[in-house]
Structure formats: structure tokens, C-alpha cells
Structure 1
Amino acid sequence: MHALLLGCDFSSAPTARKPIRLARGQAVEGGVALQGLESFTTLEAWCRWLADTPAWVGAFDLPFGLPRELVERLGWPTEWRALLAHYATLDRRHIREAFAAFCMARPAGAKFAHRATDGPAGSSPSMKWVNPPVALMLHAGVPRLVAAGAALPGLYTPAGTVTRIALEGYPGLLARELIGRRSYKSDDAARQTDERRRARADLLDALERGSARLGLRLVLTEAQRTLLVADARADALDATLCLVQAAWAAARRDIGRHGWGLPAEIDPLEGWIVSA
């Protein structure tokens, strides 16, 4: 049994102002308790922490795969490990140019290719390179998850004993279930309003009640709750939402073909967002 649960709000270019945030937690009766928060200002420090931590189950807010339609159109490898190896060799400029050319050749309203998981999750296409730059997050993050020794169920299992499980999370999926389309965060100081602060407080109220479809309640200290409400960017809150998704998945580790709450039929090139 994996005792340590993780939720990660990821950045492909972390800085002291916008670090990668990691929520640490543990399963408790009927829920998950937030134990602490970590910050990483470099990709290398984040990868090293994951590699040095011997056993965990984590939900990470970055895509683990690209749309099959896109990959086939570009003539890239259609086996996940080979695709990841190819993708890792490309620089960000090449990725942006290849994806922009793909979009330019398509009609208005259908510029982007989508993965099967995007519909039920309500997620951005994983080929987007701006707003949010999730294609670059995949490029920066997934090779490092593999380097840290993680298995990505449905996509990749390393040789030897597996003690680190990485799942694709998406905090927006859980947030929408709890507070609808209300905006609860902004990186722009001018848009960090009282209304968004109230939305964060309401979101945490719902998480603590356990009113989510996932049937889990979040256990917080008063100090943690104050910190999460005060964080106008909501990076720590997004990491905590991913933590709840990781807890839901961990409770289903042995159920189904892939385990971890994943559907039986997953495109082994695209992957799936946990709990979608």
C-alpha cells in the first residue's frame, strides 16, 4: 500500500514567483488529509524530489499524451514510449511551429486535435502551446516523471518493482463539480478580487464536506485553510485538488484492467485524466 499521496500543480518554466507546487497527503477514513506543501523553483529539483521519495501515488496537472490524430498527421511514432523519446528531442520552437502548421491547415472552429479524455474532462487539448501551454508542460514534465522511476498506468510501466505511480490529474474537473464555472484564481494582480477569494473559500467548504462525486472529504488544519484561501493564484489549491484525485485513484488501485480508477479502454498513446 502506498501511504504517501501527491497532488501537483505543474509549471514548465518554474520560478521563485511561480514555482511548481506539490501537495502531500495521506488517506484517512472517508477522505484525505493534507500534510504539507512543497515548492520547487527548478524542474531538476522537482524531479530529484520525486526520485528520492521511494513510494507515492500522485496526480499531476499536465497532459501525459498527445492526440492520436495529431501524431499520425505529423508522422511521429505511434507507440507511447517511442513518441515520448522523439518529443523530448524537439526544442520548444519546433513544437510550436509543428503544431501551428497543423492548426493552420484546419478549418475555423476545429483547429486543434483532441484526445478522447478531453470531452468528459472538459480539458484543453494537449497540443495547445499557449493559454495554457500544456504541450510544453508535457515536454518538460513527462520525461522527468519517467526519469524519476514512475509508472504511468495505461501508458508505461518501468522494469522492476513499481513504487511510484503517476496519474494525469486536472483540478478544473473537480472544481467545476463543486462550484460550477465560477473563477477562483488569477495570476493577474488586478483580477485577484474578493469574488474569487469567496469562490476559493466555497470550493474548500465543499471539499471539506466531501460533497464531490468522488465521495471523499478533504481534511485541513485551520492554518492550511487560511493559506489556501489567501493564495490568489491558487497554485497550492490546484495541487490540493489533484491530491483529492490521487486519493480517489489510490482507493481503486486494484480495480479494472489498468487499476487506479481508469477506464478499461484507454488509447495507449493518448492517456486519460483520472476521475474523468
Structure 2
Amino acid sequence: MKLHGVDYTSAPSRRKGITIASGELHGDVLILESLTSLPDHAAFDAWLRQPGPWLGAFDFPFSLPRELVEHLQWPTEWAPLMRHVTSLTRPEMRETFKAFCDARPVGGKFAHRATDFPAGSSPSMKWVNPPVAYMLHAGVPQLLAAGVTIYQLHPGDPDRIAFEGYPGMVARDITRASYKNDLRSKQTPARREARERIVGMLEAGQHRWDVKLDAGDFREALVDDGSGDLLDAALCAVLAAWAWQRREARYGMPEFDALEGWIVGA
């Protein structure tokens, strides 16, 4: 089984692409075999269509909070909800979510999915810092068009299985220190040191998910990349490996709301 971790961006470019870490699991060791950066959505669409079997953890939200959906009186089944959301323009979606937040008290502006709390993830309706709602808006249609299985949310090719992942959840289990920044001026020695620590602990399997990472010739790249994109992809690949180990037990996933979805490993 090929295992992939995908660090997604809703606006890929040659400077900052959609980054993919790929490997295979041998025992409890994930052997990293490639790091790939895709410069545009067309390249990602083609990548999604590569034959299986493969399993991937994708760093973007696959759904929205039920509280938000019911308040807006949007469809409460996943596939119709996604069709509705992606029929909106980004400005329409942003203004709808902003109006929802503006009507709520300080400290409770955003609605959350149940998975956000154990994962420590941002609300999937956020349109800034980080703009994960835009990532959902761009990414979910690509998964659907490629015909992959979106676990427990949408049936597709059983040999190509997509899970929602969140690299920050794994990174924070190792260190609370900031380890990345897209601005070169903020790619400091302290952040490099944090990446070094994360990679070292991944190699030792000293984190909650226990999978060991054999980064091989890619180790230096994971540490040197100040944006953290390569490391985030590898962190997602670790979650994919953890899920594959538990494939006979719902991939380690609890029972969850099939409208909201769940972050693998949370």
C-alpha cells in the first residue's frame, strides 16, 4: 500500500505548490520514498487519478460544522452540502460566514466541528489565518472529480482512499515551538531547531501515534525547508501510516458525525 501525506494549498504555484510525501510502511517504520511539489491544480488532478492501491491524509477540511450548516439551513447530508458550498463563489462564502460570526459574541465567533477539539485544528469555516474554508472549497471538488473514496463521507474507488489529516496535531505533540513560516525573513534558526526536533522525534517514534519515520536522503530537506511544507506533508504521511495499521478497526477512527467528518488520528 502506497501511503501519502498531502500539504494542500488552494492557490498552488511554482513558488508554493501542493506538497506530497510518499512512502510505504514496513512494520512500524514509514520509509519515505519521495517528496513532490505540484505547481497547479491540473497537476494535482492528474496525481489524484494515479492507480491504487493508495491511502492519503490530506491537510484540508473535508466538511463544515453541523451548527453552522443547520443555522444557514443548508443541506445536512454531506454530498448535497458540498455541492451547495462549491456552487458559491469564494466572496459569497466569505460574506455568509462573516455574517454568521458578526452576529455572535466575542470568544465564540466561529462554529466548530467535534473533531476540532481533540485535534486542536482551526474551525473549517475560517477564511483567514489560515484560510481553510478556501482549501475546502477548492480541494473537496478535486477529490470528488477524481472518484476517490472519502472515508465514511463519500464512496469511490476502494483502492484510492482519502482521509482528512492535520500535521499541526502531530507537531504539537512533539513541541509547542513555532517551526515554520512562509516569509523567508521569519525562517529563523529557532524555527529550524524546532523542525530538527520534530524530525528527530518522528525518527524515534516518540510521539502519540508511534509510527517511526525513516526519512533517508530526504531528512535534510525536511529540516531545511523553512516554509514547513515538506515537513507538514511528512507529518500527514505519518497519520496515513497510522491509519493503515488500523485498517481492520475503522482505520483508528471513532464513530463520528458523517456530515462533519473527522481528522484521522484525532
TM range (shorter): over 0.9
2: distance between equivalents of 1:149 and 1:26? 23
Root-mean-square deviation (CA, aligned residues, Å) is 0.9
TM-score (norm 2): 0.98
Residue in 1 that maps onto 2:24: 26
Q: Secondary structure at the match of 1:248?
A: helix
1: distance between equivalents of 2:125 and 2:29? 34
Once the 2 structures are TM-superposed, how far is the Cα of residue 143 of structure 1 from its aligned partner? 1.3
Contact 1:20 1:46 in 2 (8 A): yes
Pair 1:175 & 2:166 matched? no
Once the 2 structures are TM-superposed, how far is the Cα of residue 54 of structure 1 from its aligned partner? 2.9
Q: Give the letter for the 2:104 counterpart.
A: R
Provide runs of 4+ in structure 1 moved above 6 Å: none
2: distance between equivalents of 1:47 and 1:253? 26
User: Which of 42, 45, 51 in structure 1 is aligned with 2:43?
Assistant: 45
Residue in 2 that maps onto 1:163: 159
TM-score (norm 1): 0.94
2: distance between equivalents of 1:151 and 1:270? 16
Gaps of at least 5 residues in structure 2 are none
Structure 1 residues 123-272: aligned runs within 5 Å: 123-158=121-156, 162-179=158-175, 181-221=176-216, 223-255=217-249, 259-263=250-254, 265-272=255-262
Deviations along 1:124-179, one digit per CA (max 9) or x if unpaired, are 00000011000010010011112112111121113xx5111100100000001112
2: distance between equivalents of 1:53 and 1:241? 23
**Between 35-44 and 49-58, the greater mean CA deviation after superposition:** 49-58
Aligned residue pairs: how many?
A: 266
Once the 2 structures are TM-superposed, how far is the Cα of residue 211 of structure 1 from its aligned partner? 0.7
2: distance between equivalents of 1:216 and 1:54? 22
1: distance between equivalents of 2:121 and 2:64? 13
2: distance between equivalents of 1:11 and 1:163? 24
Once the 2 structures are TM-superposed, how far is the Cα of residue 250 of structure 1 from its aligned partner? 0.8
Q: Give the letter for the 2:223 counterpart.
A: V
Q: Give the letter for the 1:260 counterpart.
A: Y
What is the percent sequence identity of the aligned residues? 53
